[in-house]
Chains A and B, each alone.
Chain A
Amino acid sequence: DIQMTQSPSTLSASAGDRVTITCRASQSINEWMAWYQQKPGKAPKVLIYESSRLANGVPSRFSGSGFGTEFTLTISGLQPDDFATYYCQHYNTHFGQGTRVEIK
C-alpha cells in the first residue's frame, strides 16, 4: 500500500510570494501524481496531472515537478485567489494530508 506524505500541513504566506508544497510517496509512483486545489464549500479542482502537466484553464503560476517518490507543487507569485487547501494524490489511491495556504 503506497502512502503519501504531504508537507507542510499549513503554510502562511503573503501575496506575491513563491510557495512550494511537497509530497513524498512511500515507493516509486513514476509520474502518476496529481495536485488539487479546494476552496471552502467547493469540490476540489485539478491543477496538475502526470506530475507536471497543467490542467486546462489553470494559470501558469502553478507548476508541478517530480518523478518517483518526490513531488512538488509550486505557486510563483501567490495571488489572493490562491489561498486555499491543496492536496496531492497518487492516481487511484491515497491522497496527501492536505496543505492549507493561509494569509500571513
Chain B
Amino acid sequence: DVQLVESGGGLVQPGGSLRLSCEASGFTLSDYWMSWVRQAPGKGMEWVASIKYDGSQMFYVESVKGRFTISRDNAKNSLSLQMNSLRADDTAVYYCARDHLWGQGILVTVSS
C-alpha cells in the first residue's frame, strides 16, 4: 500500500523557518512527480510546489517563490519542503502528495 507520512510541522514565529519531511513507502519514489499542497484555515485547497522524478525541475505557486524549496532524495524515499521567511498566511495543514494520493497532513502555524 502507498503510504506518505509527513513530519516537521509545528509553531514558528513570523520570519522563521521550518522543514517538512515526507517519508514515502509502498512504491518507487523515482517513478513519480511529487508535490506539496496545503489548506489554510477556512480556505480552499492550494497547490504549493512540485518536483520532477529526478529532481531536475521544480515548480512553485507564486506566493512561495523565493521562500520555499522542494527537494527529494529518491534513495531515501523522502520528499522535503524547506520553508523560509514564513508569514502568517502560510499557516495551513500541509500535505505530501503523489498524484491523487496524499498523506495525513501536518499543521504549520506561523504566529508570534
Chain A: residues with CB nearer than 8 A to chain B? 32, 34, 36, 38, 43-44, 46, 49, 55, 85, 87, 89, 91-95, 97-98
Q: A91-B33, A92-B35 are contacts. A98–B100 as well, Cβ < 8 Å? A: no
Q: A34-B100, A43-B102, A46-B100 are contacts. A93–B59 as well, Cβ < 8 Å? A: yes
Considering only residues 64-112 of chain B, those with a C-beta below 8 Å from chain A are 93, 95, 97, 99-102, 104-105
* B11 in contact (CB, < 8 A): no
* B46 in contact (CB, < 8 A): yes
Q: Which of B47, B59, B105 contacts A95 (CB 8 A)?
A: B47
A46 near B101: Cβ-Cβ < 8 Å: yes
A77 to chain B, nearest CB (A): 24
- Count contacts on B: residues with CB < 8 A to the other chain: 21
Task: Name the residue on A nearest B45 (C-beta).
Answer: A95
In the complex, which of the residues A38, A43, A49 has the most CB atoms of chain B within 10 Å of its own CB atom?
Answer: A43
Contacts of A95 in B (CB 8 A): 37, 44-47
B102 near A93: Cβ-Cβ < 8 Å: no
* B20 in contact (CB, < 8 A): no
Contacts of B46 in A (CB 8 A): 95
B102 near A44: Cβ-Cβ < 8 Å: yes
